[in-house]
Amino acid sequence: MTTPTQGNRLTKNQRQHRITKLLEAQPVTSQAQLVSLLAEQGVEATQTTVSRDLEDLGAVKVRLPGGDTAYALPELPVHQIAPEDHLRRVLGEWVVEVAYSGNLVVLRTPPGSAHVVGSALDRSGLDGVIGTVAGDDTVLVVVDEEMGGKAMAARLGDVAGIAHETDLIMRQGRNDHG
C-alpha cells in the first residue's frame, strides 16, 4: 500500500538518500521547497515527513554567502573525503594482499578489518572506484572499466606500501585459478 509518506513505494532510507542527494546538489532553503523537489522526482512526501527525515539525517540550517539559509548535512559524503594520507595510513596498516580480475580488485585484510578499508576507500573519492563491498577479511573493489582492475590493483598496492608484492600476488592468483 502506498501512502503519501512513502511516495513511489520508497523506503524511508531510499527517500532520505534522495534528500541527501538533493541537499548535495543545490541549496534547499525550506521544507516546502524540499517537498516540491521530491515531487519533481515523483516522490510524494508531506512536510511533516520531510521534517522528520531532515531531523533523522541531522540536517541543520546554515547561513549561505549573501545571508540566506539552507539545509546542510554535516556528514554528507562529499564532505567526508578522506585525505590521501588517511587512505595511505589505513591501507598501509590493514591491507595485506591485493589481487584483481577484470574490473575487480580484491583486498585482503586481517579478520574483522575489511570494513575499515572499505569505508576509507568509499570516502576517498579515488578516481576509478565505483564502490566497495566489505566482508570480514576481504574487500571487493569495483573499478571503472576504463581504468581496469590491473591498474587499480597496482595503484592500491602502491598506496598500501606493498607494490612490489602486488605483482607476485597477482601472478600467483592467476596461476592458482588458471
Q: Is 83 in a helix, a strand, or coil? A: coil
Q: Provide the domain count of the chain.
A: 2
pTM over cut 0.75: no
Is the distance from CB of 94 to CB of 156 less than 8 angstroms?
Answer: no
Higher pLDDT, 166 or 75: 75
C-alpha–C-alpha distance, residues 95 and 98, integer Å: 8
88 and 170 assigned to the same domain: yes
Residue labelled with grid coordinates 581504468: 147
108 shares its domain with 126: yes
Q: Look at residue 104 and tell me if it is in a domain.
A: yes
The CATH code of the domain that includes 131 is 3.30.1360.40
- The last residue of one of the domains, among 43, 75, 107, is 75
Give the domain-ending residue among 58, 75, 92.
Answer: 75
What pLDDT digit, counting tens, does each position of 120-131 carry? Answer: 898 788 899 999
Residue 30 has pLDDT above 70, yes or no: yes
Q: How high is the pLDDT of residue 9?
A: 66
Pull the grid cell for residue 65: 554567502
Domain that holds residue 32: 12-75
Q: Are residues 99 and 153 in the same domain?
A: yes
Taking only the tens place, the pLDDT of each residue in 102-115 is 999 999 999 888 98
Task: Say which CATH number the domain at 63 has.
Answer: 1.10.10.10
| Distance, CA of 122 to CA of 86 (rounded, Å) | 12
Q: What is the pLDDT of residues 38-77, one digit of tens each?
A: 999 999 999 999 999 998 888 888 877 778 888 887 654 5
Q: Residue 117: which of 166, 174, 171, 159 has the closest Cα?
A: 159
